[in-house]
Every structure is written in structure tokens, then in C-alpha cells.
Amino acid sequence: MRSDASRLGLYLLLAPILLWLTVLIILPHIGLFLVSISEKIGPREYETGFDNYAAFFTEPLYWRTFGRTAIMSILATVLTLLIGFPIAYYIAKLTKGRTKTTLFLMCMIPFWVSELVRTFGWMILLRETGVFSNLLQSLGLVSGPVEMLYNDAAIMVGLVYTSILFMVVPLVTTLDSLDDSLIEAGYDLGGTSTSILREIVIPHAMPGIVSGCIVVFMLSLGNYLTPILLGGKDSLWFTGMIYTQFITRFNWELGSAFGFLLLALSSLVVFAGLKLSGQSLSNTMGRS
């Protein structure tokens, strides 16, 4: 009787999650793949084939944008790690109590403000009539207005800004769990700051580094607003291309193929990252 009730409970609880995952995650992705391998041969007539993928590989604009997006995302990930690591180390190891909590919460700022507002803020700072341009002019460093928007550096600033939180938070968590005495022991044994960083701190922080890098890479790869608004019209980003195929050109078949390629790239990188570091998805992401 009791086990029957508990079995009924199990089925009742399984229903919503299965419904959610099947209808909103699994079936749509299968559908996306099916559309990506269908070719339009006439009005409302389709044939199965890999023409859309072939179109991607034969048109340099497509695969170059794909490559560019991937490389810029990797660069953004590396930069975020380099900028975020000292900050995380400072918060985790060199402060305590209220200062620590405050600094940690301050890192959350970009998360609490919508992506659009953040990007808008950078536009006000960087544009020709913007704050930086005016500041440089009033300091007498430049003679006329400078346009700092609409280039790759501006995109990079925006990407790092958007994702820094997802790097700092896991790093602080892992660094927090590193026992201070281990670092002291390193010094007692005559280690230098560099050797201690390399031999003790970084190996310990590895799970945090991996989970941070995965999330930052995925967010940069899938970003739409930052490249469009900060990079201007000539800056090509793969998500922008997907949008164009879907909404402007109404070529859903090619757009689906693009979407699937982007998904493949991001999953590949995530799983390579997990395998290389010996982490699992449940361990790194399940804790966030």
C-alpha cells in the first residue's frame, strides 16, 4: 500500500519534468536537425540531404564568420580568466568578513542588470560623442573626437564584461576551499610566488577554472547583442547570421543547419573541457 502510494508519487513527479524536457528541449532539437537536413526543391516540396551543410562549407563568408566567432569567443574566455583570476584570489584569500561579502556581491552587478543595459552603457562610454572621447579631448590628449565603438576591441570589452561574473564566482568558490596553510607550507619550503601559484593554487582551482571557462565560452559564442551593438554593421557574428537566416531571409533550412553547427561546436568544447579536466556536468554546473 505504502509503496504503491510512493510509486504514484514518483510518476506524478516524473510527469512535469518529462513533459518539459521532451516538448521543449529534446523534440525541438530533433526537429531542428530534421529541418537542417531538408532541402527545398520546390514550393512546399522538400528532400533529405546535406546541401545546407555543404552550403556552409562552400561559402567562405559562412565558415569564416563561424571561425571568427569561435576564435573571438576563445580569446574572450582566456581574457576573462586572466582578468578574473587575480580578482577571485583577492576576494577568496586576501579579504574576509564584510569586505569579502561586499566585494563578492559587487561582482554580481552585471548579472542583475539586463544585457541590453550593460551594452548600452558601453555604447555611451565608447562612442564618438561619448564619455571617453570627451575625456581624452578635455585632457588635451587628442585633438578631435575619437570613435572607439564598432571594432573588435569594443566587442571584446563587452564580452568580458558580460561574462566576468560567471568566471569569478566559481573561482572564488574553489579558491575558498583551498587551505591557507598549504600556501604557507609552500613558502616555508622555499617556494616562490610563481611556483606556488603553479604547483598549489592552480591545480586546486582547476574545477572552478573549467566550469568558468565553459560557461564564458558558451555565453560568448551565443551572444547576439554585444557583437551587433558594439561591433557595428560590418562585424559578423554567427548568432547574427542565424538570426538573419531565420527572421530576415526566412531560410529556415540553412538557419537550422547553422544553429546545429553552433550547438555542435559549443557541446564539443564543453565536453572536451570536461574530459580534459576529469570533471562531470553534474559536478560543475549542478552546483551553480
Please report how close the Cβ of residue 207 comes to another protein at its closest, in angstroms: 15
Q: Is 281 in the site for another protein (CB under 8 A)?
A: yes
Q: Is 267 in the site for another protein (CB under 8 A)?
A: yes
Q: Looking at residue 65, what DSSP letter applies?
A: H
Among the listed ranges 29-37, 59-67, 148-156, 198-206, the one in contact with another protein (CB under 8 A) is 29-37
DSSP, collapsed to helix, strand or coil, labels residue 48 as strand
Nearer to another protein, 58 or 282 (CB): 282
Among 13, 41, 54, 142, binds another protein (CB under 8 A): 13
Q: Is 278 in the site for another protein (CB under 8 A)?
A: no
Q: Are 93 and 184 in contact (CB under 8 A)?
A: no
Taking the C-alpha atoms of residue 129 and residue 152, their distance in angstroms, rounded to an integer, is: 19
Q: Which of 36, 59, 41 minimizes the C-alpha distance to 263?
A: 36
Q: Which of residues 151-210 bind another protein (CB under 8 A)?
A: 161, 164, 180, 183-184, 187
Taking the C-alpha atoms of residue 214 and residue 100, their distance in angstroms, rounded to an integer, is: 25
DSSP, collapsed to helix, strand or coil, labels residue 151 as coil
Please report how close the Cβ of residue 109 comes to another protein at its closest, in angstroms: 6
Please report how close the Cβ of residue 78 comes to another protein at its closest, in angstroms: 17
Among the listed ranges 31-39, 46-54, 146-154, 169-177, the one in contact with another protein (CB under 8 A) is 31-39
Dmax (CA) for the chain in angstroms is: 85
